[in-house]
Structure 1
Amino acid sequence: MKKSIYQVGAVVILSAFLAACNTDTDEPTTSNAASEEPTETEQVQTEEQQETSETNETNESDDSSTDQNEESTEPSEETKAEQEDKDDTDTLTYISNGQTFEEKAVTSTSDEMNYTIQHLENYTLTSEEPGVDSLLNNADEKTSMQIEVVKKEDVTFDQLKESAKETISVIAPESTKDLDLTSTLEERKEIINIVGYEALLEDEKVVKVVIERDNLFVTLTIYDNVQADLTDAFLQMGLTIQ
C-alpha cells in the first residue's frame, strides 16, 4: 500500500516538474516574439526614414548630374584664353614671287592724319611730312609705301586718278602699265573705286594706287623691286586704311 502511495506521489511530483519546465520555456519564446515584432508606430517611422533617405539620395544624384553637366559645358580657362587670343589676332594674306603668304598683322594709327592701318609686324608707320606718311619695311629699306589720305570734300576721285597717272608717266614714259584691280573691287565691298598704275625702271618699280572709300580717298605710292616683289603685300595693307 505504501508502495502505491509512493508511486502516485512520484507521478504527481514528476507531472508538476514537467509543467513547470513547460511554463519556463514558453514564456521566453512569447516574450522574444513580442519584442521582435515592430509596433505600428515603429513601422510608420521606419517607412518615413526610408522615404527621406531615398529622397536625399535622389537629390544628391540630381545635384551631381547638374554639376557634371555644368563642368562639361563650361570651357576651361585655357580654352577661353586661346579663343580670346584667336579673336584678337588679325592676319594679312598676300602673294610674293608666286607664293601665298599669311602673316600676323598689327594696327597702327597715323600721328598726323585721322586713319588707322593694319600692317605686317615687321613694318613701321611713320610721319614723313604734313599730309604724307610712310610705311617702312624694317627688313629692307629699299621697299616702302607713301600714304596720302584726304577727305572727300577736298578733291574728287577723277582728279586723284589723273594725278597718279601723270606721275607714273613722268617716271617711266615708255614702261608704264595699268594694273588690273577688278578682283580687289569685287572681293572688298567696302571699296567703291580703285585704280593702279606701274612704272618699271630696270629692277626697280613704282606703283600708284588710288582708293575710294565711303568717307575718304587714299593714294598709295609703292616703292618695290623685282627681287622683293612686295607690291601685293603693300597693297593689302593699304586696303585696310580707314
Structure 2
Amino acid sequence: MNAKWKILTLSLMAAMMLAACNTADKDGSDAADSPDAGETATGDGAAGTADEETDGSSEEDSGSADGQEADGSEERGPDRELTYEKDGSQKSGKAALTDSDAQDYSIYVLDGFELTSEEPGKDSLYYTEDDANFMRIEVFDEDGADYAKTVSGMEEMLAGQGSDPEDAAGNYGLAGDPSIDELVVKQAKTDEGLTTGAVFAASGKIVRLTVFEGPEGGLADAFLSMGATVGPKK
C-alpha cells in the first residue's frame, strides 16, 4: 500500500514539474515575440519627429513661395487697370498690353487711345477722339544712352515751344510709381496748349515721353500713367 502511494506521489510531482517547464517556455517565447515597451515608445517618438519635420518643411516651402511672389515684380498680363486724374477727378480704365512695332518695348494702352509707329525710334500714342492730343514715346537701352543728355534734350525741346519749362513732377501720378527711377518732368505753355516732357529709367531702359495737348487739355496724367508702364515686350 505504501509503495502504491509512493508511486502515485512521484507521478504527480513529475506531472507538476513538466507543466511548470512548459509554462516557462511559453512565457519566454511570448516575451521574445513581443517588442520591448521602450522600443515601442522610441519608435513612436521617431515617427512623431519625422511628421514634425515634414510639416515644418512644408511650411517653409510655402513661406518661400509666398515670399517669392511678394518680392517678384508685377506680372505683365494681357490687361491692367490704370488710374489717372482728369478734370480734377480720379478716373480708372482697362488698359491692354501692346507691343511697339518699331521699338523694343510694350506698353499698357487705355481704351480710347491708339499706339502707332511713325518714324524710326519714335512712336506716338494718340487720343482717338482728338488726335491733337498725343504722346511721343522714345525708348533707349540704358547701357547705350546718356541719361543726362536725354534730359537736356527734353528741356531744350520744351524751351523751344514758347515759355520756359517748369518742374511738374508733383503734378502727376507717375511721381509715386515704384517701378520707375530718376524721374524728371518739365512743362511749358504754348500757343496751342500745353507740352509736358518726362524722362525716367525703368526695366533697363531710358524712357523719354513728350505729351502734346490741345486747348482743352486734361489728358497729360492719362498719357503719363500709360507711359509709366513701358517695359519688356510680351
Query: What interval of TM-score do these two structures reach, taking the shorter chain for normalisation?
Result: 0.5 to 0.7
Does the aligned pair in 2 maintain the 1:185–1:193 contact within 8 Å? Answer: no
Superposition deviation, residue 234 in structure 1 = 0.3
| Rounded Cα–Cα distance in structure 1 between residues aligned with 2:172 and 2:82 | 17
Q: How does 1:127-206 map to 2 (within 5 A)?
A: 127-172=117-162, 174-181=163-170, 187-202=176-191, 204-206=193-195
Secondary structure of the structure 2 residue equivalent to 1:102? strand
Does the aligned pair in 2 maintain the 1:196–1:209 contact within 8 Å? Answer: yes
CA deviation vs aligned residue, 1:148-175 (integer Å, no higher than 9, x gap): 0011122221111111111111111x35
Instruction: Please report the TM-score for the alignment, with normalisation by the length of structure 2.
Output: 0.61
Secondary structure of the structure 2 residue equivalent to 1:237? helix
Aligned mate of 1:220, from 209, 228, 234 = 209
The structure whose residues are more often helix, as a share, is 1
Change (3 A) 1:158 1:88: closer
Look up the match of 2:108.
118
Look up the match of 1:210.
199
Change (3 A) 1:181 1:158: farther
What's the RMSD between the two structures over aligned residues?
A: 2.0
| Rounded Cα–Cα distance in structure 2 between residues aligned with 1:153 and 1:199 | 30
CA deviation vs aligned residue, 1:10-63 (integer Å, no higher than 9, x gap): xxxxxxxxxxxxxxxxxxxxxxxxxxxxxxxxxxxxxxxxxxxxxxxxxxxxxx
Does the aligned pair in 1 maintain the 2:169–2:175 contact within 8 Å? Answer: no
List runs of 5+ in structure 1 lacking aligned partners: 1-86
Look up the match of 2:99.
109
Which residue identity lines up with residue 152 of structure 1 in the other structure? E
Instruction: Please report the TM-score for the alignment, with normalisation by the length of structure 1.
Output: 0.59
| Rounded Cα–Cα distance in structure 1 between residues aligned with 2:139 and 2:81 | 23
| Rounded Cα–Cα distance in structure 2 between residues aligned with 1:183 and 1:170 | 23
| Rounded Cα–Cα distance in structure 2 between residues aligned with 1:140 and 1:109 | 23
Higher radius of gyration, 1 or 2: 1
Identity %: 28
Secondary structure of the structure 1 residue equivalent to 2:103? coil
CA deviation vs aligned residue, 1:72-94 (integer Å, no higher than 9, x gap): xxxxxxxxxxxxxxx96521111
Does the aligned pair in 1 maintain the 2:175–2:183 contact within 8 Å? Answer: no
Secondary structure of the structure 2 residue equivalent to 1:211? strand
